[in-house]
Every structure is written in structure tokens, then in C-alpha cells.
A and B are shown apart, each in its own frame.
Chain A
Amino acid sequence: MKKRVILALAAAAVLAGCASGVKLDDVPVDDRTGAAVTPGGPGTGDASARPVQPVQADPSATSGPGPANVSRIVYFDYDSYVVKPEFQSVIDAHARYLRSNNRNVVIEGHTDERGGREYNLALGQRRSEAVRRALGLLGVPDSRIEAVSFGEEKPATQGGEESAWAQNRRAEISYR
């Protein structure tokens, strides 16, 4: 038993190498500061130094009914926020409905996926505001219309080519 211990120690000594290169006085005795990564003493074994408290966002109410049998979507050309003539009838129908019903409406502007998120949010806003202006021109009080944008965040269709992009460049009329 003793021999084994002596042999193990001898082997350890060889590997730890108290041989060349390092003077004993060069090694500071113990310069450890012992800082605690985790605050608190014994018993706080589970506490993290940097906790993150999870939060769940509550879902919001969905859309309500509007005029029946009328499209709610106006589509736009690339890099454009001009309401094209072919969508004027959609605008007309919603304007008529809003003039005779005391409802509020939110116009949601969208872009296709190309480009930066914040800049696309602003481009989508141009589209929703164009529809808001068009409704205003037809007599809908501005105070009943809110124009917002989803930018590229809520595409109607996934896909990396023009057929999908064309479906995503839109403003949606939403009665909340």
C-alpha cells in the first residue's frame, strides 16, 4: 500500500513538473479575490446573478364586422403608396358604410419582405395613410380612422418571389 502511494506521488511530481522555467518566488501565494458571481451566502444556491422574469403578452381582440360582401384589402405596386383606380370602388363602399354607421376603423398598412423592418414599417404607414386620406376625401371624419402599419411583419402569403410579394403589399381595412 505504501509503495503504491509513493509511486503515485512520484508520478504526480513528474507531471506537475517542478523542474525548469518557473521560480517558486515568481508565483504569488494566493492573489484570489474570491468575488461572488452570485450574490448571497449559503442557501442562495439557486439564485442567479442575472435573472430574467418571463412575461406573456395577452392576445388582443380580433376584428368586428363591417360592410358585407366588400373586400377589405387594397393592393399596391412595388415601392408605391398610390391607391390605384381599380381599388376606388372598395374605398367607396367602405366610405359609404362609415358615413352611415358610427363605427371606427383601423387601416393596417403592409409591405413585402424586402428591406429593413423599421423602414418598411414607415412604408406600410404611407399605404395606410393613403387609404385614410382617400376615405377622408369621401367624407369620413378623420377622427374615426386610425392608420397603423405592420411593415413586413404580417405577410398574407409566404414566399420569396413576386407572386407572394404582390399579395403582401397591401392595406387592410379593419373594424375593431
Chain B
Amino acid sequence: MSEPVLWRRRELAAFLGAVAAGPALAQFRVEVTGVGLTQLPIAIAPFRGEAEVPQKVASIIQADLERSGMFRAIDGTAGAGLDETSRPDLAPWRQRTADSLAVGSVTRLADGRFDVRFRLWDVVRGESLAADGFVAAPGDLRLAAHRIADMIYEKLTGEKGVFSTRIAYVTKAGPRYNLWVADADGENAQSALASNEPIISPAWSASGRQLAYVSFESRKPVVYVHEIASGSRRLIANFRGSNSAPAWSPDGRTLAVTLTRDGGSQLYTIASTGGEARRLTQSAGIDTEPLYSADGRSIYFVSDRGGAPQIYRMPAGGGAAQRVTFTGSYNISPALSPDGRWLAYISRISGAFKLQVMELASGNVTSPTDTTADESPSFAPNGRLIIYATRQGGGEALMTTTLDGKIKARLPGRGGDIREPDWGPFQR
């Protein structure tokens, strides 16, 4: 009679052992620093089957939610073995102070694609809040995880998540420049353009299908409009002198650019399909870095017409400009939140270049970073995060920050000096 008892124990021990050795969710390559004021505690259990597939879906979801600054991750490893069909005992999760629990599965299909499913539990009320699934090619497993993170984010915060969006950035490695298109977490970077001459100022169109940028491949700066999926590109501005700083109108039909063809750097508009340039500014100084407001009715830009570079705003068709920045003697690189409430820019303060965030209604300015070589800020399309380039720990890095500076994350990037990030739009 003793043998069956031993069996039972061994079976249970083996089972529990298998559960405890689940994948470590703490391993993600995003370094998140800071403590937010209100963060929603969420546990993400390893997805059943993810140990056998190329991407750890649960880790990607957890990193996304943590990087947003709105979530605090509770260790989900005790949930290994759960999936979207489970009816989990939520009491232990309440004890672990999780408000939500995400579970799911990844299954390889006969055609090589993956079936990814999830369910989100409200731990406190004991209800299923959301459940969905995606079929993804192996190369799109990360995208499936990002879509799930978006759905969780939207369900629990009421706002759209940006985890399925893309970013563009430039690297320089020795003599080699690359323009990369990557996921918003910095992973999955693919080269859109490789060149032996510099590339600067990438700018996403509102559709997310095109990038405008400045290339020096013909040994002077010219502006291209480049369709990402096909690689087909059109030379939009190659006027006499330098052509740079492309900015898309929200309807995608116009680009504002800086041209020097009439002497000095001034602002012009060109149809995004190419053609004649129409002059917008007529100042004695430098006018550059144009930026359309979300409603397309105004253009913000940098001008040193007053003696030093400051940020101004004028009607999109040109006309009287109003100065916007009044603190400091060197303010450049404007970026606007989609709701038009916030202006991010770079200010030179005692020789350091620092990201600033201004609330436009009040003019109140805050300084969210403690680094001194910030450049190229760009808002996430939900207006909740800013991506920028900076120097940290002896190397160049891409960072995201919440607007209050409380939660920052360093993104992994391709090798080489990394710079010029631009955050793409919501996926259509």
C-alpha cells in the first residue's frame, strides 16, 4: 500500500517542480528607472507554449506596460501553466497585490504561423475584462505581443497604447550610416536606407507608410520621401544650396522644408509628390525646423531673427510669427503632443543641451531629464511619452520618458552612435 502513496507524491512534486521552473519574466532588456505616482499593479503569467517559440510574449508585454510608466509589474511566474481558457484562483494574486492578471498561450499552426491568445482578469472583482487572439507569422510574434499590450493598456487606462507603433532612427558605425525602422520598444530594427554619407531628420508621414529625411549621398543635403515597404523613394527637394528639415502636414499632402536657394535658411512648402517650392518666411536670420500643429493650421519653427534661436509659431500659410519660448537663450528642435497641449524642445543651459517640456496654455516649463546632451525629441502618438537621443554612461542612447520625467527607459538599438529618433503614428 505504501508504493501508490509515494507515486502520488512524486507526481505532485514533478508537477510543482515544472511549474516553479517557468521562464523568468524579469529578463527584459529595457532598463526602466523611476517610480510613478499612480501605477497599476499587473501580473503577467508566462504564456503557455512560449518557451518553445522564438519570442517570450509575456516578457514583451510586461516590458511594454512598465515602460509606459502606468504599470508596475508583479511577478507572474506562479501563473505558469495558466492560459486563456483557465479559470484561475485569483485569491493568491490578490495577496500578491496585483489588480490585474494576464494569461495566454502561443500555439504553432500547421502552416508555420502562430496562434497567440490572451485573457485579462480583474483580480479584485474576479471578472474577465478582455480576451482576444491573433494569428502571426514568426516574424510578427513581437507585434502580436505588442497588440496584446495595447489592448491591456487601453482596457485599464482608457487610452490608446503605443506599443504597436514604430520608430525611426539613424545610426553611424564608422563610415556607415543607416536609417532604421524599429518597433517602439527599439527591437526588430530593419534598415530602410544604408549610406556612406550622413542621414538626418527622419520624419514619419501620418500614414506611417513613408519617411521623409535628409540625405547627403550626393554630397549636399537633399530631401527624399521614401516608401518603407517598397523601398521606392522620390527626391523632393534638390534646389540650389542646402535642402533640409522636412515636416509633414497632417493630411500628408505638403512638406514644409528649409531651403537656402534664395540665400540664407528659410522655410518653404512643397507638395509631397514634389514640384515647386512656395516660400513661407522672409526673415533676415535663420528659419528652420518647421513643425505642423495637429490641426494643420499652424507651423512652429526655430528662428534666430531675434539674435539667438528661439521657437516661434505662425499660420501654416505663412504670416506674422509669435514667439513661443522665452526662457533661455538657445531653444531648438520643437515637438508637439498630438493634443496640442505640450511643446517639447531642446534648450542650451550653461552649455548643456536639455530636454524641456512646456505646457503651452500656461507657458510653464519643466526639465524632465538629468542628462546634458539631449537631442531630437518626438512625442508618442498618444502624447504620453517622449523619445529622444542622449549620451548616457559613455555612449549614445535612445530614451523614452513620461512627460513628468518620472519613468524613463533606455531602448536597445543597433550598434553605433544612435541619434535622430522620430516616433511613428498609430498603426492603421
Contact = CB atoms under 8 A, between A and B. Distances in A.
B420 interface: yes
Given A4-B11, A129-B263, A58 B217 contact: yes
Interface residues of B, number: 90
A68 interface: no
Contact of A52 (B87, B143, B191, B286): B191
B21 interface: no
A43 B241 contact: no
B87 A125 contact: no
A60 B196 CA distance: 10
Interface string B128-155: 1001111111111001100100000000
A125 B266 CA distance: 11
B197 A45 contact: no
Interface in B213-243: 215-221, 226, 228-231, 233, 240-242
Interface stretch (A34-42, A84-92, A93-101, A163-171): A34-42
Interface string A45-58: 11111111111111
A118 B240 CA distance: 17
A176 interface: yes
Contacts, number: 240
Contact of B126 (A18, A21, A30): A21
Given A36-B134, A149-B242, A122 B258 contact: yes
B361 interface: no
Interface string B46-80: 00000000000000000000000000000000000
Given A3-B7, A116-B375, 20 more contacts: A3-B4, A16-B87, A20-B89, A32-B84, A34-B135, A37-B116, A38-B136, A52-B228, A54-B194, A55-B231, A56-B194, A59-B196, A60-B218, A118-B201, A118-B258, A118-B333, A119-B302, A125-B265, A126-B264, A147-B241
Q: List 6 A-B pairs, minimum CB-CB distance, nearest first.
A: A17-B89, A53-B231, A45-B112, A57-B195, A42-B111, A52-B190
